[in-house]
């Protein structure tokens, strides 16, 4: 792969990531990879390996029969590559079915599906616990993947990870408010991806001695989960395999003083500092100082952002 092929690949990849949801993006991705790498078949998707169990979602096949995935899934938990390589953020490995020490089930797959050359790799998705994986295959007497092709695949995966993260970020920003934490979880509560503050928000709901995995399973089974502190975990369908859980924090009005809440309510209604000062019978500088305090506490910079943060909460004016 020369620099011009790589440049075209990256530009097209980013364009698709900007204009397609992650699941739709993954369908285009393999065609782009095929433009820079020679292979006969491919298998790719998201995987999560924890506690001796592997969970796989959003998989796709190209050039392979549907029962290939079933055959591979039944053996993955015993695969040393899965057990060790998955802990790395970026990883590639090429194999030939006749190599010494190749896993026995690989030879069985070769006999059944004529897969003789494999180029396996994965990258850490959005710095989360799951990986995006992709395996490329050649059939029959095709030549082995060379060292150059393996090195190129590592570069390809790095760009795939960046594009996938971009696609996820754009998609989730359209689904979840910027001030809310979020997570993508499986039907049994497996945590695939989450925002940086989701774990802390989840930990705050735990009872003494309760594990996060237990709470996640509870959340996966109900549409809404309210905490004693006022936060609300709401579940919606992200895809056939994953739930999107959004965390709406407790009412932001609670962190303001009664006077600040009164001013904030008028600000979000569109009142100017002069109008607020006249209504409250105070100096404009007093209103400006309190407005600055409101913005600082709420983590916003202007009326528009303030209105967005507070629009789901009804202020209680004392």
| 169 contacts: CB under 8 Å, gap ≥ 6 | 126
pLDDT at 230: 65
Low-confidence ranges of the chain (pLDDT < 50): 312-318
Reading phi first (left if > 0) and then psi (alpha if -120 to 50, else beta), residue 315 is in: beta
pLDDT at 27: 85
pLDDT at 26: 87
pLDDT at 180: 76
pLDDT at 316: 37
Q: Which CATH superfamily is domain 3-174 in?
A: Transcription factor LuxR-like, autoinducer-binding domain (3.30.450.80)
Task: Give the start-to-end residue ranges of the domains of the chain.
Answer: 3-174, 177-248, 252-310
pLDDT at 304: 84
Query: Which residues partner with 139 through β-bridges?
Result: 115
Widest Cα–Cα separation across the chain: 87
Q: Pick the closest to residue 256 from 209, 285, 292 (CA basis).
A: 292
Q: Read off the pLDDT of residues 186-200 as tens digits, 9 standing for 90 and up.
A: 988 999 988 888 888
Q: Note the CATH number of domain 252-310.
A: 1.10.10.10
**Distance between CA atoms of 301 and 267, rounded to whole angstroms?**
12
**Distance between CA atoms of 203 and 82, rounded to whole angstroms?**
29
Q: pTM surpassing 0.85?
A: no
Mark out the alpha helices in the chain (DSSP H runs). 3-19, 22-36, 67-76, 80, 104-113, 147-175, 198-203, 212-220, 258-268, 273-280, 284-298, 303-310
pLDDT at 200: 84
**Distance between CA atoms of 91 and 135, rounded to whole angstroms?**
11
pLDDT at 251: 63
Residue 179: count of CB within 10 angstroms of its CB:
18
Q: Are 110 and 97 in contact (CB under 8 A)?
A: yes
Q: Are 3 and 11 in contact (CB under 8 A)?
A: no
pLDDT at 313: 46
């Amino acid at each position: 792969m020369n620099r011009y092929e790589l440049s075209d690949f990256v530009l097209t990849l980013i364009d698709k990531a900007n204009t397609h949801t992650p699941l739709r993006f993954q369908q285009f991705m393999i065609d782009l990879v095929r433009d820079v790498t020679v292979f006969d078949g491919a298998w790719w998707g998201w995987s999560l390996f924890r506690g001796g169990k592997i969970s796989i979602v959003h998989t796709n096949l190209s050039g392979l029969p549907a029962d290939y995935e079933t055959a591979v899934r039944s053996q993955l938990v015993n695969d040393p590559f899965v057990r060790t390589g998955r802990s790395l953020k970026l990883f590639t490995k090429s194999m030939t079915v006749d190599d010494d020490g190749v896993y026995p089930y690989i030879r069985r797959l070769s006999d059944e599906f004529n897969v003789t050359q494999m180029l396996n790799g994965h990258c850490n998705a959005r710095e989360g616990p799951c990986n995006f994986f992709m395996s490329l295959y050649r059939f029959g007497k095709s030549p082995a993947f060379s060292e150059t092709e393996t090195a190129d695949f590592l570069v390809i995966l790095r760009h795939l990870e960046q594009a996938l993260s971009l696609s996820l970020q754009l998609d989730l920003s359209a689904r979840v408010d910027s001030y809310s934490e979020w997570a993508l979880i499986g039907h049994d509560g497996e945590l695939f991806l989450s925002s940086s503050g989701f774990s802390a928000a989840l930990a705050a709901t735990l009872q003494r001695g309760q594990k996060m995995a237990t709470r996640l399973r509870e959340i996966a089974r109900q549409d809404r989960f309210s905490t004693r502190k006022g936060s609300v975990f709401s579940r919606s369908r992200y895809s056939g395999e994953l739930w999107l859980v959004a965390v709406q924090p407790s009412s932001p009005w609670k962190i303001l003083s009664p006077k600040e809440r009164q001013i904030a309510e008028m600000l979000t209604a569109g009142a100017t500092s002069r109008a607020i000062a006249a209504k409250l019978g105070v100096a404009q500088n007093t209103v400006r100082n309190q407005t600055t305090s409101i913005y600082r506490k709420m983590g916003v910079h202007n009326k528009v952002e303030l209105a967005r943060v507070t629009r789901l909460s009804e202020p209680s004016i004392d």
